[in-house]
Amino acid sequence: MTDTESSPPTFESEDIAIVLAAIDTSPLTGLVVEYGARLARRTWQNAQLHLLHVFRSGPFDRPAAAGLHTEDLVAEAQDHLDFHVRIARRQCPAPVTGHLAVGDPVDEIVRRARSLNADLLLVGMQDTFGLQRFLLGSVAEKVAKRAPCSVLMIRRKQRLIKKIS
């Protein structure tokens, strides 16, 4: 390699690499946690894995109107996060920390990535179409545009289905 070529960034042995994995309640959550644990375990000697679950709250979220109590829903979100933190700790010897936030997922994910000074951010990417895409947009795409670090979008591998005639 010559001096003009750029080499990939490396971390000194005393540096800590921060991997932030944003999880939700979709079927992709297990895959996001697995990738986060694998990256923290194999890529950097001194890594930390942080899992963030955002309880969405906004002007259109009205759990009380549906007979649900916000406190119960937030407690359920915390249980969901705790479950995935336990799974990540089984998969990864690096320190694993869970974070629960309440608010807009895009804002909270970007805010947490900044506050942790994250080196890598993992988000699951669902394929949404039509009205759902128009109303909600893609959280992963919005996060990727605003994130202060590199973003790895995790999605399920699409498999071809052969028709047997």
Q: Which CATH topology does 23-154 take?
A: Rossmann fold (3.40.50)
The token duo for 121 is 């951010």
d(CA 89, CA 68): 32
| Residue of 142 and 157 predicted with greater confidence | 142
Least confident of 64-68, 83-87, 135-139: 64-68
Helix axes 139-146 and 105-116, enclosed angle (nearest 10): 40
d(CA 54, CA 52): 6
The 10s digit of each residue's pLDDT in 57-83 is 765 555 554 556 788 888 999 999 999
**What Å distances lie between residue 64 and 57, 67, 125, 153, CA to CA?**
12, 5, 29, 33
> In one letter, which amino acid is 155?
R
Model-level pTM?
0.79
For the cut 80, the answer to whether the pLDDT of residue 107 exceeds it is yes
The 10s digit of each residue's pLDDT in 12-43 is 545 779 999 999 998 889 999 999 999 998 88
**What Å distances lie between residue 133 and 54, 136, 140, 141, CA to CA?**
19, 5, 12, 11
